[in-house]
Amino acid sequence: MFKNQPKGLFALALANTGERFGYYTMLAVFALFLRANFGLPAEAAGQIYATFLAFVYFLPLIGGIIADKIGYGKCVTIGIVVMFLGYVCLAIPLGGGGVAMSVMILALVLISFGTGMFKGNLQVMVGNLYDDPKYADRRDAAFSLFYMAINIGAMFAPTAAVKIMAWAQQSLGYSVNDSYHFAFMVACASLILSIIIYYACRPWFKHTENSVKQVNKDGNAPAVEELTPEQTKKRIVALCLVFTVVLFFWMAFHQNGLTLTFFADEFVNPVSTGIQTMAFDIVNLVMLVVVVYGLFGFFQSDEAKGKAWSAGAVVAACGVLAWKYTQISPEGITLSAPIFQQFNPFYVVALTPVSMAIFSALNRKGKEPSAPRKIAYGMVVAALAYVVMAVGSIGLLTPAAQELARVSGEPTYANANLLILTYLILTFGELLLSPMGISFVSKVAPPKYKGMMMGGWFVATAIGNYLVSIGGNLWNDIPLWIVWSVFVGVCLLAAIFMFSIMGKLEDATK
């Protein structure tokens, strides 16, 4: 899985891991911060949350256009610096008045612009590593690994946010509202780590930093694939069609930070007992990841030493899990809503080698689906995730009725396993769609428009993220099963459209 990949992949992936850790630490608590610190209703908080996400993913288009002119490396550095300034603004506790709101908006603008300069261009650089014919056939696998690294940062983020907030409240005496700012401080620190990794390892990928419109120091332009105007048009049209489809996936998927978090906060039983409590301990999740990778290492290693190390890791991880089981408290634990956001990245990290093994086996048999087909299947799987939520929510109160019931002490609760299962299914859809989509863009985009086309992928994500607010608008008097059914419908319609244009998409890759 990790063999025969250029070193630059791992350096760029680690740099992105640091940045994503900070971003998802902030995002894990952001919607709740808006409601707690500023007293905003769900609809208003959802609108701010969705608008912020939209700009985070729209501005990579601008960043890509700029990078096509001045270079990807320069934009990545500018992006990290600007993002850092934004997180610093969020980390300052200013209360809940007008000044605090103004500074928060400034912070969101800086974070959005910085992400726009950083995110897409770093991924273009990853794709550029595979323009080398020696690595060309490993592009899809590379983006799966890169995507896994992103989610390593995201996996630890909710725990970091919850733990540092609890520490600020219990050890330093800060109020709940002020403790949110400590989570934002974590984001500042993670960006410092990210830039250190980037520049320490820069020699491994420096050759990917220039755009095709730049000239190398020796006066020669980088090699460029020659396309006719007709080929260029065909590729751009194919990419735009894909962008149209995936925006509906992100509309559904990024409910994880809004309505699914509201559900965790308002409808999930706040007390977890028995073996279920192990799922909310990040140490246990890490041990499960070790078991998965250890098993793959054992069966894929060609040397006895490698098998021995892998077997030892599996045994040690199982030993830790067994010990942790003995430490389960009979009283159970109290759940915090942001902690549920650790499950999606955990599943990505744990399941990436499984998905890569499956597709590798299909590839050897000549049956691996094309990237567009994987994207269409991902939409179907996302619809299934919300079918689970819809069925599991039958009989629950509406959000408005639940709020009144919580005051009177008679709320209706769902089991935490409902969300845990939903995130598992959503992750299967994500693994089919997101890394494959990014790989598809890096492969199909006309060379002179790589930055802009990668930005186009994020514009589709931005539109989807803005549509996330629909969930917030529905979060009041409508039965929950109807809320989730809306997302079932849009995902299925998008999948049907994707299958209907499959021939045109696959023709563009030839």
Which structural domains are found in the chain, ordered by start?
7-206+228-270+335-508 (1.20.1250.20)
Question: pLDDT tens, 137-194?
Answer: 778 778 888 888 888 888 888 888 888 999 999 998 888 888 989 999 998 999 999 9
Nearest to 261 by CA among 466, 31, 22, 25: 31
> Would you state the pLDDT for residue 220?
46
Nearest to 411 by CA among 399, 393, 394: 399
Residues making up the chain, counted from first to last: 510
d(CA 143, CA 302): 25
Least confident among 44-53, 212-221, 395-404: 212-221
pLDDT band at 223 (very low <50, low <70, confident <90, very high): low
> Would you state the pLDDT for residue 510?
64
Q: What is the mean pLDDT of residues 300-323?
A: 91
> Would you state the pLDDT for residue 445?
86
> Would you state the pLDDT for residue 216?
46
> Would you state the pLDDT for residue 225?
59
Q: What is the mean pLDDT of residues 361-367?
A: 85
pLDDT band at 226 (very low <50, low <70, confident <90, very high): low
Residue 414 pairs with which residues in a beta bridge?
Answer: 268
pLDDT at 263 over 80: yes
> Would you state the pLDDT for residue 156?
86
d(CA 49, CA 215): 41
Higher pLDDT, 336 or 379: 379
Least confident among 298-302, 323-327, 470-474: 298-302
Find where tokens 């149209």 sit. Answer: 244
Find where tokens 């290492």 sit. Answer: 297
Q: What is the mean pLDDT of residues 398-412?
A: 89
d(CA 224, CA 210): 12
> Would you state the pLDDT for residue 453?
87
Reduce the DSSP state of residue 481 to 3 states and report it: helix
